[in-house]
Structures are given as structure tokens and as C-alpha cells.
Chain A
Amino acid sequence: DIQLTQSPSSLSASVGDRVTITCRASQGISFYLAWYQQKPGKVPELLISAASTLQSGVPSRFSGSGSGTDFTLTLSSLQPEDVATYYCQKYNSAPWTFGQGTKVEIK
């Protein structure tokens, strides 16, 4: 089965900083990668599908890129409301696996 490895597992950055989270697949998954945001105590929400397609209502400071095995989620300017854990998920074929998560905090 294909595994997803996220890095870093956690990060602390200042408001306004550019933040980058990576997700690496153990085998190629084309563009079938999604990113979810889970705020503390809340349900995960879909941010990005197909590696780079922003969902409706998601702020434009979020962006995704990559294909094959290497993917990136970028926050161009970190805001206090972005404090959350971010998960990548592959869905090209079952089993539909999640990365282990990246916890983003404000410095």
C-alpha cells in the first residue's frame, strides 16, 4: 500500500510568514492528492483537491502544488485563524490513506 509522509510534523511561525508543508507518497499517485484543515476540536475540512484546486470559500493565501510523489501546501501569509493540523490524503485508489498530519502554531 502507498504511504504518505508529511513534514514537518509541527511548526511554529509568525503571523505573516510563508509556511510550507510537504507530503511525499511512497509511489506515484498522479494528482490525486487532497489537503484538509482540522482546527482544534473541529471536523476536518477539505481545502484543496487534485493537488492544486482550491475549494470554494478557501482563502487565496492557501495553495497546493505537485504531482506524482511530491506535493506541497503553502500558506503565503500565516494568519491566526490558520492555527490547525493539516492532513494530506491520497485518493487515486483504495486504501485511501492520510498523512500523519502537520500541526501549525503561531509563534
Chain B
Amino acid sequence: QVQLQESGPGLVKPSETLSLTCTVSGGSISSHYWSWIRQPPGKGLEWIGYIYHTGSTYYNPALKSRVTISVDTSKNQFSLKLNSVTATDTAVYYCARSSAWAEPFDYWGQGTLVTVSS
């Protein structure tokens, strides 16, 4: 059974960089697409971007200028960096898997709340 687990600081100061890692267990990170999705408190889901195991990425145009997603296949992990954060970036951040191109998100992490505050 594939499991995903997000990790990283729960509090980030405004203007700084939010950094999260998703560790994949129970399966290989290869041959799948790995996404970050976020959900502000009381609001809907926003897809941030994906990375393929080769390192190919695609970012939400609304966040593209501030987002970097990377992968470490040796550790079965992928990571998110979001820079110049503001209070509007406060959200639960999920990592999720798409089994292949043009497939929905079949496995999700439990999510981690990141609060942007001084």
C-alpha cells in the first residue's frame, strides 16, 4: 500500500520560503507523477504543481513564479519550495500521486498545516 507523508515547518515568516518534503513508502517514486495541492482554511483545493520522476515539472501558472518542485529518487522523496510567502499562503499542504499521465490523484498524504505569520 502506497503511503505519502508530508514533513516540514508548520510556521513560516512572511517573505520567507516555505519548504516541505513528501516521503513515499510502499512503492517506488519512479514512473508516476507527484503533485502538491493546498487548501486554505475553510476553502477549496488548489493544485500547485507536479513533478515526474525524471525531474520534469509543471506548475500552476498562478504560482509559477514562486514555486520549485524537486525530486530525490534515491530517498523516494519529492519537495516543494514556495518563496516570498504571505498570509494568503497559509493552508494545509497535501502531496498526492497520479499513477500515470492523465490519471487522477489516487493516493494522498495526510496533509500538513503551514501558517505564515511573524
Give residues in A with beta carbon < 8 Å to B. 1, 32, 34, 36, 38, 43-46, 49, 85, 87, 89, 91-101
Contacts and interface: CB of A to CB of B under 8 A. Distances in A.
A43 B104 contact: no
Contact of B35 (A36, A43, A96, A99): A96
Given A1-B61, A91-B98, A96 B106 contact: no
Given A1-B61, A43-B94, A44-B108, A97 B47 contact: yes
B60 interface: yes
B110 A43 contact: yes
B26 interface: no
B58 A87 contact: no
B45 A49 contact: no
A50 to B, nearest CB: 8
Given A85-B44, A95-B60, A98-B45, 5 more contacts: A43-B109, A43-B110, A96-B50, A98-B44, A101-B45
A95 B105 CA distance: 13
Contacts of A97: 47
Give the bracket for the number of chain B residues in contact with chain A. Answer: 20 to 34
Contacts of B105: 34, 36, 44, 46, 89
Nearest to A85: B44
29 contacts: A1-B61, A32-B102, A34-B104, A34-B105, A36-B45, A43-B94, A43-B109, A43-B110, A43-B111, A44-B108, A46-B104, A46-B106, A85-B44, A87-B44, A87-B45, A89-B45, A89-B105, A92-B102, A93-B102, A94-B50, A94-B58, A95-B47, A95-B58, A96-B35, A96-B47, A97-B47, A98-B44, A98-B47, A99-B44
